[in-house]
């Protein structure tokens, strides 16, 4: 009896049909339900979509770090969320204590204010990225490199240890303190609303009913993220180090035989991943203006789920997974209840692991010698 002769039901039982059928039903139900809500109040729906995009792009930057490191050393770097926290704090100190965001305006008073602010903000982000890269390379050198040949579980446990260390070292009164700190943004908030065209919303004014509101925070998050993603794509696809990274991910011993400095490549991967997390830290704190030592835990976990959803090890996968996560969270928070957002996020993780452990873009792992 070959496959053609089986009934649909039998085939479903035999193959992966149950999983696929269930997924299709689930997707239909969600689309039906969300579509109904969207027709009820289109402006609220688009508002939630925009909120989800803002969150999704930040998750994308964090998720890329997870996925890159996993792709190369097969390590889930749980300290990644805390590197993100470090990046947020670096930018907090840069803005609050050193007014780094003001340097272009102070140095070149003739500069148009908009360009001054953009350069200032980008410098703050760049500083956070560099600091996080240095931090991650240090962590890699001290905590992970000695365990390169140890069982994978040892490195994983070490990563959790590093994560706790960064959090509670940060909580010390002479480091970041255990307090909630109000984050000072490197630029002033400007808000627009969309209704019959785009209008500026003056401070203290109310938007007309049925309008969709967005702010310059959203624009900056999207622009910076896309800039970094394009840059990352260029590095990975077009440069020598990118080629070395891909080779190392593919087959470490052979890469070493071919003369690639594998340790250097791994270190660079950590640095690039961490610098993206650093940028994400600045953007996240700008959007949700508060910094505290444990702020990296939840976004870190969510980004990890996003990376798994997209297919851990896959760079486009991390990006797509993060955007889906952002929407799923905001839609469930907006239309079910806020406490459901975490439940939905981790349900996604469980479903992906049950039905398609390799994620959307992932390929089944090949056994390596």
Partner 1 sequence: MSKRFLFIISILIVFSLTLGACAQPKPTTLKVAILAPLSGAVPTFGVSTRDGALLAIKEWNAKGGVLGRQIEAVVEDSQCEADPAVNAANKVINQDGVKYIVGEVCSKASIPVSEIAEEKGVVQISPTSTNPNVTLKADGSTKQYVFRACFIDPFQGLVGASFAINELGAKTAFIILDQGNDYVRGLAENFEQAFTEKGGQIVGKETYTSQDTDFSAILAKVAEAKPDVVYLPDYYNIVNLVTAQAKEKGITAPFLGGDGWDSAELDRAAADGGYFTNHYSEQDTRPIVQQWVKNYQAEYGSVPDALATLAYDAMNLLLAAIQNAGVDDPAKVKDAMASIKWEAVSGTITFDQYHNPIKSAVILQVKDGQVKYVTTVAP
Per-residue HEC secondary structure of 108-167 comes to CCCCCHHHHHHHHHHHHHHHHHHHHHHHHHHHHHHHHHHHCCCCHHHHHHHHHHHHHHHH
Is residue 344 near partner 1 by the rule CB under 8 A? no
Is residue 18 near partner 1 by the rule CB under 8 A? no
Is residue 51 near partner 1 by the rule CB under 8 A? yes
Site for partner 1 in 107-166 (CB under 8 A): none
- Interface with partner 1 (CB under 8 A), residue total 45
**Cα–Cα distance between 320 and 342 in angstroms, integer?**
19
Hey, which bits of 109-187 come out as E strands?
181-182
Contact residue for partner 1 among 129, 132, 295, 324 (CB under 8 A): 295
CB of 338 to partner 1, least distance (A): 4
Of 303, 309, 312, 305, give the one whose Cα is nearest residue 355: 309
Q: Which two tokens stand for residue 71?
A: 């792709």
Is residue 333 near partner 1 by the rule CB under 8 A? yes
| Neighbour tally for 299: CB within 10 Å | 24
Task: Using the minimum distance from each CB to partner 1, give the nearer residue, 212 or 265.
Answer: 212
Site for partner 1 in 299-328 (CB under 8 A): none
**Cα–Cα distance between 182 and 144 in angstroms, integer?**
34
Task: Using the minimum distance from each CB to partner 1, give the nearer residue, 113 or 204.
Answer: 204
Contact residue for partner 1 among 15, 35, 161, 178 (CB under 8 A): 178
Q: Which two tokens stand for residue 239?
A: 């440069």
End-to-end CA distance of the chain: 37
CB of 117 to partner 1, least distance (A): 17
Is residue 280 near partner 1 by the rule CB under 8 A? no
CB of 332 to partner 1, least distance (A): 9
**Cα–Cα distance between 251 and 60 in angstroms, integer?**
26
**Cα–Cα distance between 104 and 338 in angstroms, integer?**
41
**Cα–Cα distance between 34 and 46 in angstroms, integer?**
12
**Cα–Cα distance between 313 and 355 in angstroms, integer?**
18
**Cβ atoms 286, 217 nearer than 8 A:** yes
Task: Using the minimum distance from each CB to partner 1, give the nearer residue, 239 or 337.
Answer: 337
Of 79, 20, 44, give the one whose Cα is nearest residue 304: 79
Is residue 48 near partner 1 by the rule CB under 8 A? yes
Is residue 290 near partner 1 by the rule CB under 8 A? yes
Site for partner 1 in 191-250 (CB under 8 A): 191, 193, 201, 203-207, 209, 213, 215, 217
CB of 360 to partner 1, least distance (A): 24
The residue ranges that bind partner 1 (CB under 8 A) are 41, 43-44, 47-48, 51, 54-55, 171, 177-182, 189, 191, 193, 201, 203-207, 209, 213, 215, 217, 284, 287-290, 292, 295, 298, 329-330, 333-334, 337-339, 341-342
């Amino acid at each position: 009896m070959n496959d053609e002769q089986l009934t649909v039901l039998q085939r479903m039982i035999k193959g992966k049909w149950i999983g696929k059928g269930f997924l299709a039903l689930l997707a239909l139900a969600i689309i039906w339900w969300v579509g109904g809500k969207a027709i009820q109040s289109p402006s609220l729906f688009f508002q939630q979509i925009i909120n989800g995009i803002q969150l999704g792009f930040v998750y994308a930057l964090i998720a890329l770090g997870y996925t890159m490191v996993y792709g190369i050393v097969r390590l889930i770097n749980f300290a990644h969320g805390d590197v993100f926290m470090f990046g947020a704090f670096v930018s907090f100190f840069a803005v609050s204590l050193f007014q780094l965001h003001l340097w272009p305006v102070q140095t070149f008073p003739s500069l148009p204010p908009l360009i001054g602010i953009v350069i200032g903000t980008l410098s703050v982000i760049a500083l956070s990225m560099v600091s996080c890269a240095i931090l991650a390379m240090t962590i890699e050198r001290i905590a992970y490199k000695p365990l390169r040949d140890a069982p994978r579980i040892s490195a994983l446990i070490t990563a959790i240890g590093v994560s706790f260390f960064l959090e509670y070292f940060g909580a010390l009164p002479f480091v970041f303190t255990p307090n909630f700190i109000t984050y000072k943004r490197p630029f002033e908030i400007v808000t627009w609303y969309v209704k019959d065209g785009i209008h500026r919303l003056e401070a203290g004014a109310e938007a007309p009913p049925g309008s969709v509101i967005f702010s310059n925070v959203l624009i900056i998050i999207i622009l910076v993220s896309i800039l970094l993603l394009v840059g990352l794509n260029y590095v990975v696809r077009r440069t020598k180090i990118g080629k070395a990274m891909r080779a190392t991910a593919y087959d470490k011993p052979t890469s070493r035989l071919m003369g690639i400095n594998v340790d250097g490549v791994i270190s660079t991967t950590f640095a690039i991943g961490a610098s993206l997390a650093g940028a994400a830290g600045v953007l996240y704190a700008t959007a949700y203006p508060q910094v505290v030592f444990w702020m990296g835990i939840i976004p870190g976990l969510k980004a990890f789920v996003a990376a798994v959803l997209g297919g851990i090890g896959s760079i486009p996968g991390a990006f797509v997974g993060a955007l889906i996560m952002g929407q799923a969270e905001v839609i469930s928070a907006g239309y079910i209840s806020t406490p459901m957002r975490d439940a939905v996020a981790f349900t996604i993780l469980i479903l992906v692991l049950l039905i398609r452990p390799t994620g959307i873009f992932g390929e089944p792992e090949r056994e390596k010698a």
